[in-house]
Amino acid sequence: MLHELTLSALTANLAAGKVSAREAMQACLDRIDAVDDRVNAFISLDRDDALGQADAADAALAKGDTHADKPLLGVPISLKDLFCAKGQPVNCSSRILGDFRSPYDGTVVRKLRDAGAVLFGRVNMDEFAMGSSTENSAFGHSHNPWDLERVPGGSSGGSAAAVAAQECFASIGTDTGGSLRQPAALCGCVGLKPTYGRVSRYGVVAFASSLDQVGPMARDVRDSAVLLGAIAGQDPLDSTSVPVEVSDYTAVLGGDLKGVKLGLPTEYLTDGIDPEVRAAFDAAVKQCEVLGAEIHEVNMPHTEYGVATYYIVATAEASANLARFDGIRYGERVEGDDPFSLYCKTRGRGFGEEVKRRIILGTYVLSSGYYDAYYLRAQKVRTLIKRDFEQAFETVDVLITPTMPIPAFKAGEKTDDPLQMYLSDIFTISCNLAGTCGISLPCGFTSEPKLPIGLQLLGKPFGESKLLQIAHAYEQATPWHNERAAL
């Protein structure tokens, strides 16, 4: 079936003239019609626009455009609902933006269009990217294609669910504390979080500006490499993007792991890891050794402070970023007797409970008398966490850890206990605090029910090539990436 192809296989078929971009797009639309009433990955979809883009891609192929110049030509790709794409709704899975539509294309969207991608649909997410299960959405929560009673992870849960359900060939999401890697692990996909500054954030609705990073959600490592190459690079419209050369990430794929030094952080191997997750992880480490890698234990002593540090820094930045949503210039407005009551009513009705919780927490840690005790101290601990990574990378090439301590949990299981929800990201958060790169890829399944388990690799800053090389070598030596959810 056409919708079952990887992105790379689709481009090969498009280049050979075996299929058309319209056929590929129609296959995705048919698949959405067949399964999305159960998955709820897509929250808006303009079918005519999608097919029009596909026809334009076919016309480009007919006149001689190639995938060497436009690597994503004719490939249907979905967008997390926080990217600005001209004329498309931008809701961030929240009520507060109402019927707002973007008047412009963000940089990542523009780069994807330049690469020939067919950008269609807005996929579900935790509201303003705040959550780990995609249950914090004004459009209802998404379901894990492997078990519809379970969550797909978050906040890019719609992206992971759409890719796992084969409703699109790839999706573009964001990662603030694990929001690409965590849902990738729970849905059996590959989620890549690039180094902070590798990909432009211009045109991406901000959650925590010093932590957010854009990245791909794909079916395998090669597809991730192709997508990263298309969206990476310095952008004059984003002052935090870094002028570092963008490599051909597909050129490094292939081969074994001889001479590669993998660091095993002892602090990540806690007692709280699910036994089947631990067994799959241990087997993955042994597989890497078989491929030639050297395994070295390393210490990351400040790991235990990662969750607390993250939820101070991230909420403080969210408190500042979300102050712009007030119902005055755009979005939903609830009238009041005066400006104060207008703000209170608009935000009270427009924001969900988790967003309100984080705004309140962030405002508190920034308030007079508490700034030094909380926010300033958290920034100091963040520096210590970053130093842990720097010291580890003095002796190893890449760190290897589980992505999640547990497999996908049932919907509603953790909604009444925010702290337990926050702790589910314990292995992914430090990567964002340190600003380095990470990837999650499948490394096995639980027995009953059959649920995906993720392997996380964490690389040096701007070390995406090495990260992808190692991930690809492991992936190709194991069968997990070939498994598909049986919807």
pLDDT values of the chain reduced to their tens digit, one per residue, 487 residues: 899 999 999 999 999 999 999 999 999 999 999 999 999 999 999 999 999 999 999 999 999 999 999 999 999 999 999 999 999 999 999 999 999 999 999 999 999 999 999 999 999 999 999 999 999 999 999 999 999 999 999 999 999 999 999 999 999 999 999 999 999 999 999 999 999 999 999 999 999 999 999 999 999 999 999 999 999 999 999 999 999 999 999 999 998 999 999 999 999 998 889 999 999 999 999 999 999 999 999 999 999 999 999 999 999 999 999 999 988 888 989 999 898 899 899 999 999 999 999 999 999 999 988 999 999 999 999 999 999 999 999 999 999 999 999 999 999 999 888 888 888 899 999 999 999 999 999 999 999 999 999 999 999 999 999 999 999 999 999 999 999 998 8
Identify whether residues 90 and 189 lie together within a single domain.
Answer: yes
Are residue 125 and residue 101 in the same domain, yes or no? Answer: yes
Tens digits of per-residue pLDDT, 344-354? 999 999 999 99
| 268-280: b (≥16 Cβ within 10 Å) or e | beeeebbebbbeb
DSSP E strand stretches across 364-451: 398-402, 437-445
Domain that holds residue 116: 2-263+394-482
Query: Are residue 322 and residue 204 in the same domain, yes or no?
Result: no
Which element (helix H / strand E) includes 456? Answer: strand 452-459
Q: Is 154 in contact with 134 (CB distance < 8 Å)?
A: yes
Q: Is residue 273 part of a domain?
A: no
Catalytic residue chosen out of the listed positions 8, 179, 319, 440 = 179
- Residue at a domain's end among 354, 381, 408: 381
The residues, any chain, with a CB within 8 Å of residue 331's CB and separated by 6 or more, are 96, 97, 98, 100, 325, 350
- The Cβ of residue 182 has, within 10 Å, a number of other Cβ atoms equal to 31
CA atoms within 13 A on the CB side of 453: 25
Q: Is 319 a catalytic residue?
A: no
Per-residue DSSP letter, 67: T
Which residue is catalytic, options 78, 94, 132, 155?
155
Would you say 257 and 224 are in contact if contact means Cβ atoms under 8 Å apart? no
Residues 435, 389: Cα–Cα separation, whole Å: 10
Domain total of the chain = 2
- Phi and psi dihedrals of 451, rounded to 5? -130, 140
Interatomic CA distance for residues 121 and 156, integer angstroms: 14
| Six token digits for residue 198 | 């590798």
Burial class, 418, CB count within 10 angstroms (exposed 0-12 / middle 13-18 / buried 19+): middle
Pair 76, 212 in one domain:
yes
Residue with tokens 């395998």: 220
Residue 326 · residue 347 · CB < 8 Å: yes
In this structure, are 105 and 35 located in the same domain?
A: yes
- N residues, the chain: 487
Same domain, 406 and 365: no
Question: Do 31 and 175 fall into the same domain?
Answer: yes
* Statement to judge: residues 234 and 362 lie in one domain: no
Domain assignment of residue 291, yes or no: no
Q: Is 80 a catalytic residue?
A: yes
Angle 75-250-296 from CA coordinates, rounded to 5°: 130
- The predicted pLDDT at position 255 comes to 86
SS3 per residue for 76-108? EEEEECCECCCCCECCCCCCCCCCCECCCCCHH
- The verdict on residue 166 lying in a domain is yes
For the sheet with 398-402, list strands across it. Answer: 42-44, 118-123, 76-80, 170-175, 213-218, 190-193, 437-445, 452-459, 398-402, 261-265, 294-298
3-state secondary structure 182-242: HHHHHHCCEEEECCCCCECCCCECCCCCCCCEEEEEECCHHHHHHHHHHHECCCCCCCCCC
| Burial class of 293 by CB neighbour count within 10 A (0 to 12, 13 to 18, 19+) | buried
**What kind and span of H or E run contains 261?**
strand 261-265
CATH number at residue 217: 3.90.1300.10
The one catalytic residue in 8, 78, 80, 200 is 80
Q: Is 398 found in the same domain as 363?
A: no
Token output for 393:
């990378």
Q: Which of 335, 355, 381 is the last residue of a domain?
A: 381
pTM: 0.97
Q: Pull the structure tokens for residue 192.
A: 């890549």
Same domain, 85 and 225: yes
Q: Is residue 280 part of a domain?
A: no
